[in-house]
Amino acid sequence: MRVLITNDDGIMAPGIAALAASASRAGHEVLVAAPLTDYSGSSAAVGPVYERASVSYKAFDLVGLDGIPSYGLDASPALSVLLCCLGAFGPPPELVLSGINHGANIGRSVLHSGTVGAALTAAHFHISAIAVSIKYGPDPVPWETPAALAQQLAGKIAGAPAGTVLNLNVPNVPLEQLKGISWGSLGRSGLIKAAAAGMGTDRSGTLPRLSVQASARTESSTRARLLDAPDQTTGSITLELASYATGSTPTGLTTEMPSIEMDTDADLIARGYASVTPLAATRESTDPATSTFVRQAIEEMLDLRADLRATAATDSV
């Protein structure tokens, strides 16, 4: 099987080499293509592709990957996958493995994860993918645990519907200490659980204002800049990150986040289990309440449009 290995931590991150080596030992035809630099938190972003004519890349000789073609791209994880699926480095992959990310990608944080974003990009081409992450921990990181589980899943995913995306999260333990593997429902915890703004000594006490101006390149695009009014100052926002270590409810200036629910992805890895969650993106909402709202809104807008036309006709007489 042709397998593309990518990540969001960059081509030199140790997790990607562990994942690629494991895939190669399993007999797959492996290609490594990942960002040159860290793109954590990039989701499925591709960047300003309309403003560049090409994407540069560099070949790498990664430790332990002799004979495996490996490329660092000046691109996000999603763009790296997109280019490979379009044949930039030969035939498109039959499977994409993204990771191994050093840090869990669970709950609401999957929306922002570059690791997950790369996997979801593969699904756009009806190519199945597995996003692989291990809970953050000190060295030595047991990369062999998520690598082994990823290869077990890779051997089974060929029988899944095309474009299946699995999110695999593993506790930071050696394989022999893993308590098991289970379906983890997507938790409600987020990546950032609190944010507090710290300001300077300006007279207004407000956040710096932004001025949005039309770009010289095209009238439809805009650029924002800080106003240079003398009574304004820059500030900083302090972030408190979720640890996923306990079920405690965090507090802060933001809306209170829920505690970790039982049998969610966060709960499972906190208890020493690996979690597998099927994901999907760019699908139309099928929520009944949302459908009712949209239908009603469209009807009201059509009624308003008819009223405006009637008013315009009356005014023209």
Whether the ω angle into residue 68 lies within 30 degrees of 0, i.e. cis, is no
pLDDT computed for residue 192 by the predictor: 67
Q: Tens of pLDDT along 172-183?
A: 999 999 999 999
Q: What is the mean pLDDT of the chain?
A: 82
Q: Are strands 57-59 and 70-73 parallel, antiparallel or unpaired?
A: antiparallel
The pTM score is 0.80
- The rounded distance, in Å, linking the Cα atoms of 71 and 305 is 54
Which has more confidence, 267 or 307?
267
Residue 18 is predicted with a pLDDT of: 97
Instruction: Inform me whether the pLDDT recorded for 218 exceeds 50.
Output: no
Q: What is the pLDDT of residue 284?
A: 83
3-state helix, strand, coil in the chain (%, to 5): 30, 25, 45
Burial of 285 (0-12, 13-18, 19+ CB in 10 A): exposed
Going through 38-87 in order, the beta strands assigned E by DSSP cover 57-59, 70-73
Q: What is the band of 259 on the pLDDT scale with cuts at 50, 70, 90?
A: low
Mean pLDDT within 121-128: 96
Residue 99 predicted with pLDDT over 90: yes
With contact defined as beta carbons under 8 Å apart, do 9 and 141 qualify?
A: no
At residue 222, the pLDDT reads 40
Average pLDDT over residues 186-208: 61
In this predicted model, which residue has the larger pLDDT, 313 or 50?
Answer: 50
Let me know if 173 is exposed, middle or buried by CB neighbors in 10 A (0-12, 13-18, 19+). Answer: middle
Q: What is the pLDDT of residue 199?
A: 52
With a cut of 50, say whether residue 70 has pLDDT above it. yes
| Nearest one of 107, 162, 172 to 141, comparing CA atoms | 172
| The one-letter amino acid at 22 | S
Given a cut of 70, whether residue 198 has pLDDT beyond it is no
Q: Is the pLDDT of residue 217 over 50?
A: no
Q: Which of 74-88, 112-126, 165-179, 213-227 has the lowest mean pLDDT?
A: 213-227
β 165-170/273-279 pair status: antiparallel
Contact partners, residue 23, CB within 8 Å, separation at least 6: 3, 5, 30, 97, 150, 151, 154
Q: What is the pLDDT of residue 221?
A: 41
pLDDT at 113 over 80: yes
* pLDDT bucket at 224, cuts 50 / 70 / 90: very low
- Taking alpha carbons only, the member of 29, 30, 131 closest to residue 78 is 131
| pLDDT at residue 216 tops 60 | no
Q: What is the mean pLDDT of residues 214-242?
A: 50
Q: List, in sequence order, every beta strand (DSSP E) within the chain.
A: 2-6, 29-35, 57-59, 70-73, 95-102, 128-134, 165-170, 180-183, 192-198, 210-214, 222-226, 236-241, 273-279
- Per mean pLDDT, which of 79-88, 228-237, 246-255 is the most reliable? 79-88
pLDDT in tens, 264-303: 999 999 999 999 999 998 788 888 998 998 888 888 888 8
Mean pLDDT (whole number) for 206-212 = 46
